[in-house]
A and B are shown apart, each in its own frame.
Chain A
Amino acid sequence: QLQLQESGSGLVKPSQTLSLTCAVSGGSISSGGYSWNWIRQAPGQGLEWIGYIYNGGRTDYNPSLKGRVSISEDRSKSQISLTLRSVTAADTAVYFCARLNELGTYWYFDVWGRGTLVTVSS
Protein backbone atom coordinates (compact mmCIF):
# COMPACT_ATOMS: atom_id res chain seq x y z
CA GLN A 1 0.00 0.00 0.00
CA LEU A 2 1.39 3.34 -1.04
CA GLN A 3 2.28 5.67 1.83
CA LEU A 4 3.51 9.24 1.86
CA GLN A 5 5.34 10.80 4.79
CA GLU A 6 6.24 14.48 5.00
CA SER A 7 9.15 15.74 7.05
CA GLY A 8 11.24 18.84 7.41
CA SER A 9 11.70 22.08 9.27
CA GLY A 10 8.76 22.82 11.55
CA LEU A 11 9.83 26.37 12.35
CA VAL A 12 11.21 28.79 9.79
CA LYS A 13 12.16 32.43 10.26
CA PRO A 14 10.63 35.10 8.05
CA SER A 15 12.53 35.70 4.79
CA GLN A 16 14.22 32.32 5.04
CA THR A 17 13.64 29.13 3.05
CA LEU A 18 11.20 26.37 3.87
CA SER A 19 12.34 22.88 2.92
CA LEU A 20 10.22 19.74 3.13
CA THR A 21 10.59 16.17 1.95
CA CYS A 22 7.94 13.60 1.10
CA ALA A 23 9.09 10.00 1.42
CA VAL A 24 7.17 7.58 -0.76
CA SER A 25 6.95 3.94 0.28
CA GLY A 26 5.06 0.96 -1.06
CA GLY A 27 5.34 2.18 -4.61
CA SER A 28 7.58 3.95 -7.07
CA ILE A 29 7.61 7.65 -7.91
CA SER A 30 8.75 6.59 -11.37
CA SER A 31 5.47 4.86 -12.14
CA GLY A 32 3.71 6.32 -15.12
CA GLY A 33 0.27 7.83 -14.75
CA TYR A 34 0.92 9.71 -11.53
CA SER A 35 2.22 13.09 -10.46
CA TRP A 36 3.45 14.14 -7.04
CA ASN A 37 1.94 17.24 -5.51
CA TRP A 38 2.31 19.60 -2.62
CA ILE A 39 -0.82 21.12 -1.10
CA ARG A 40 -1.05 23.32 1.96
CA GLN A 41 -3.67 24.39 4.47
CA ALA A 42 -3.29 27.47 6.63
CA PRO A 43 -4.72 27.13 10.16
CA GLY A 44 -8.51 27.00 9.99
CA GLN A 45 -8.48 27.60 6.24
CA GLY A 46 -9.03 25.68 3.03
CA LEU A 47 -6.69 23.80 0.72
CA GLU A 48 -4.27 25.44 -1.66
CA TRP A 49 -2.41 23.57 -4.38
CA ILE A 50 1.28 24.52 -4.47
CA GLY A 51 2.59 22.54 -7.42
CA TYR A 52 3.62 19.18 -8.76
CA ILE A 53 6.32 17.19 -10.45
CA TYR A 54 5.55 14.62 -13.12
CA ASN A 55 6.75 12.75 -16.14
CA GLY A 56 10.38 12.51 -15.21
CA GLY A 57 10.97 15.90 -13.73
CA ARG A 58 8.56 18.32 -15.34
CA THR A 59 7.00 20.76 -12.90
CA ASP A 60 4.04 23.08 -12.70
CA TYR A 61 3.40 25.60 -9.95
CA ASN A 62 0.60 27.77 -8.65
CA PRO A 63 1.18 31.29 -10.01
CA SER A 64 0.02 32.64 -6.64
CA LEU A 65 3.40 31.66 -5.21
CA LYS A 66 5.10 34.07 -7.59
CA GLY A 67 8.22 32.12 -8.43
CA ARG A 68 9.18 31.34 -4.82
CA VAL A 69 8.58 27.61 -5.09
CA SER A 70 10.41 24.66 -6.56
CA ILE A 71 9.71 20.93 -6.44
CA SER A 72 12.23 18.22 -7.20
CA GLU A 73 12.54 14.47 -6.98
CA ASP A 74 15.18 12.01 -5.92
CA ARG A 75 14.31 8.67 -7.46
CA SER A 76 17.13 6.86 -5.70
CA LYS A 77 15.60 7.80 -2.36
CA SER A 78 11.98 7.76 -3.56
CA GLN A 79 11.51 11.30 -2.29
CA ILE A 80 9.82 14.46 -3.44
CA SER A 81 11.09 17.78 -2.12
CA LEU A 82 9.53 21.21 -1.72
CA THR A 83 11.45 24.45 -1.41
CA LEU A 84 9.68 27.73 -0.69
CA ARG A 85 11.81 30.84 -0.53
CA SER A 86 11.35 34.20 1.20
CA VAL A 87 8.65 32.93 3.54
CA THR A 88 6.32 35.13 5.57
CA ALA A 89 3.77 34.42 8.28
CA ALA A 90 1.24 33.81 5.50
CA ASP A 91 3.15 30.63 4.63
CA THR A 92 2.36 29.11 8.01
CA ALA A 93 0.36 26.00 7.21
CA VAL A 94 0.11 22.24 7.26
CA TYR A 95 1.87 21.01 4.14
CA PHE A 96 0.59 17.83 2.51
CA CYS A 97 2.19 15.63 -0.08
CA ALA A 98 -0.37 13.96 -2.37
CA ARG A 99 -0.43 11.73 -5.42
CA LEU A 100 -2.49 12.82 -8.39
CA ASN A 101 -3.86 9.82 -10.22
CA GLU A 102 -3.73 10.52 -13.95
CA LEU A 103 -4.37 7.01 -15.19
CA GLY A 104 -7.77 7.70 -16.69
CA THR A 105 -9.61 10.56 -18.29
CA TYR A 106 -10.27 12.26 -14.96
CA TRP A 107 -7.58 13.10 -12.47
CA TYR A 108 -7.82 13.12 -8.69
CA PHE A 109 -5.75 13.11 -5.49
CA ASP A 110 -6.06 9.55 -4.28
CA VAL A 111 -3.24 9.20 -1.74
CA TRP A 112 -2.24 11.79 0.84
CA GLY A 113 0.41 12.08 3.48
CA ARG A 114 -0.56 13.02 7.03
CA GLY A 115 0.82 16.50 6.62
CA THR A 116 3.42 18.47 8.52
CA LEU A 117 2.94 21.81 10.24
CA VAL A 118 5.33 24.58 9.31
CA THR A 119 5.27 27.76 11.35
CA VAL A 120 6.93 30.93 10.12
CA SER A 121 7.99 33.01 13.06
CA SER A 122 11.02 34.83 14.38
Chain B
Amino acid sequence: DVQVTQSPSSLSASVGDSVTITCRASQSIISNVNWYRQKPGKAPELLIYSASRLQSGVPSRFSGSASGTDSTLTISSLQLEDFATYYCQQSYSTPWTFGQGTRVEIK
Protein backbone atom coordinates (compact mmCIF):
# COMPACT_ATOMS: atom_id res chain seq x y z
CA ASP B 1 0.00 0.00 0.00
CA VAL B 2 1.08 3.58 -0.58
CA GLN B 3 1.30 5.29 2.79
CA VAL B 4 0.77 9.03 3.03
CA THR B 5 2.06 11.01 5.97
CA GLN B 6 0.58 14.43 6.50
CA SER B 7 2.02 17.25 8.57
CA PRO B 8 1.45 19.07 10.75
CA SER B 9 -1.40 17.31 12.52
CA SER B 10 -2.72 20.69 13.62
CA LEU B 11 -1.90 24.36 13.36
CA SER B 12 -3.23 27.65 14.66
CA ALA B 13 -3.57 30.68 12.43
CA SER B 14 -5.48 33.92 12.06
CA VAL B 15 -7.81 35.14 9.34
CA GLY B 16 -5.67 36.44 6.49
CA ASP B 17 -2.68 34.22 7.27
CA SER B 18 -1.06 31.97 4.73
CA VAL B 19 -0.65 28.33 5.73
CA THR B 20 0.99 25.29 4.15
CA ILE B 21 0.26 21.63 4.72
CA THR B 22 2.53 18.85 3.51
CA CYS B 23 1.86 15.29 2.49
CA ARG B 24 4.66 12.75 1.94
CA ALA B 25 4.07 9.48 0.12
CA SER B 26 5.97 6.26 0.82
CA GLN B 27 6.87 6.02 -2.87
CA SER B 28 6.72 8.18 -5.95
CA ILE B 29 3.10 8.84 -6.85
CA ILE B 30 3.90 11.43 -9.52
CA SER B 31 1.00 13.94 -9.36
CA ASN B 32 -1.63 11.52 -8.13
CA VAL B 33 -2.54 13.46 -5.02
CA ASN B 34 -5.75 15.21 -4.11
CA TRP B 35 -6.68 17.57 -1.29
CA TYR B 36 -9.97 17.84 0.58
CA ARG B 37 -11.41 20.15 3.21
CA GLN B 38 -13.78 18.75 5.81
CA LYS B 39 -15.87 20.99 8.01
CA PRO B 40 -17.22 19.55 11.28
CA GLY B 41 -20.12 17.18 10.73
CA LYS B 42 -19.85 17.43 6.94
CA ALA B 43 -18.50 15.33 4.12
CA PRO B 44 -15.09 16.15 2.69
CA GLU B 45 -15.08 18.44 -0.33
CA LEU B 46 -12.53 18.35 -3.13
CA LEU B 47 -10.22 21.35 -3.36
CA ILE B 48 -7.26 20.30 -5.50
CA TYR B 49 -6.75 17.29 -7.76
CA SER B 50 -3.73 16.05 -9.66
CA ALA B 51 -1.52 17.88 -7.13
CA SER B 52 -2.13 21.38 -8.50
CA ARG B 53 -5.43 21.57 -10.39
CA LEU B 54 -8.12 23.66 -8.75
CA GLN B 55 -11.53 22.01 -8.64
CA SER B 56 -14.27 24.03 -10.29
CA GLY B 57 -15.82 26.52 -7.89
CA VAL B 58 -12.97 26.43 -5.38
CA PRO B 59 -11.49 29.84 -4.51
CA SER B 60 -8.10 30.69 -5.96
CA ARG B 61 -6.57 31.17 -2.49
CA PHE B 62 -6.10 27.39 -2.55
CA SER B 63 -3.13 26.07 -4.45
CA GLY B 64 -1.13 22.87 -4.59
CA SER B 65 2.20 21.63 -5.78
CA ALA B 66 4.22 18.44 -5.84
CA SER B 67 7.87 17.51 -6.01
CA GLY B 68 9.18 13.98 -5.70
CA THR B 69 7.21 12.23 -2.98
CA ASP B 70 6.10 15.49 -1.33
CA SER B 71 2.93 17.45 -2.02
CA THR B 72 1.83 20.71 -0.48
CA LEU B 73 -1.43 22.55 -0.07
CA THR B 74 -1.23 26.30 0.49
CA ILE B 75 -4.05 28.54 1.57
CA SER B 76 -2.91 32.06 0.79
CA SER B 77 -5.32 34.09 2.90
CA LEU B 78 -7.32 32.13 5.45
CA GLN B 79 -11.02 32.87 5.65
CA LEU B 80 -13.36 31.88 8.46
CA GLU B 81 -14.74 28.96 6.46
CA ASP B 82 -11.23 27.56 6.08
CA PHE B 83 -10.92 26.63 9.74
CA ALA B 84 -11.49 22.95 9.21
CA THR B 85 -9.59 19.70 8.74
CA TYR B 86 -7.66 19.00 5.55
CA TYR B 87 -6.78 15.64 4.05
CA CYS B 88 -4.50 14.59 1.26
CA GLN B 89 -5.25 11.41 -0.67
CA GLN B 90 -3.20 9.39 -3.11
CA SER B 91 -4.87 8.09 -6.25
CA TYR B 92 -1.82 6.30 -7.61
CA SER B 93 -2.90 2.79 -6.65
CA THR B 94 -5.52 0.98 -4.60
CA PRO B 95 -6.15 0.84 -1.77
CA TRP B 96 -6.64 4.60 -2.04
CA THR B 97 -5.20 6.09 1.13
CA PHE B 98 -5.59 9.37 2.97
CA GLY B 99 -3.28 11.36 5.17
CA GLN B 100 -4.09 11.54 8.85
CA GLY B 101 -5.51 15.05 8.51
CA THR B 102 -4.45 18.56 9.50
CA ARG B 103 -6.73 20.54 11.75
CA VAL B 104 -6.54 24.28 11.11
CA GLU B 105 -7.69 26.20 14.17
CA ILE B 106 -8.26 29.85 14.87
CA LYS B 107 -5.45 31.46 16.84
**Interface of A toward B, CB cutoff 8 Å:** 37, 46-49, 60-64, 96, 98, 100, 104-110, 112-115
Per the bound structure, the CA–CA distance linking A119 and B28 in Å amounts to 37
Q: Point out which of B49, B50, B91, B95 has the most chain A C-beta atoms below 10 A from its C-beta.
A: B95
Chain B interface helix/strand/loop/mixed = loop
Identify the 3 closest CB pairs spanning chains A and B, nearest first.
Answer: A106-B50, A112-B43, A108-B49
A109 contact from B1, B36, B97, Cβ within 8 A: B36
A105 contact from B42, B43, B50, B100, Cβ within 8 A: B50
B34-A108 in contact (CB<8A): yes
Q: Assess A106 versus B101: contact at CB under 8 Å? Given A96-B43, A112-B44.
A: no
B49 contact from A47, A106, A112, Cβ within 8 A: A106
Task: Write the chain A residue with the least CB distance to B49.
Answer: A108
Per the bound structure, the CA–CA distance linking A46 and B5 in Å amounts to 12
A109-B101 in contact (CB<8A): no
Per the bound structure, the CA–CA distance linking A49 and B4 in Å amounts to 13
B55-A110 in contact (CB<8A): yes
> What are the residues of chain A within 8 A of B45 when measuring CB–CB?
112
B91 contact from A61, A96, A106, A114, Cβ within 8 A: A106
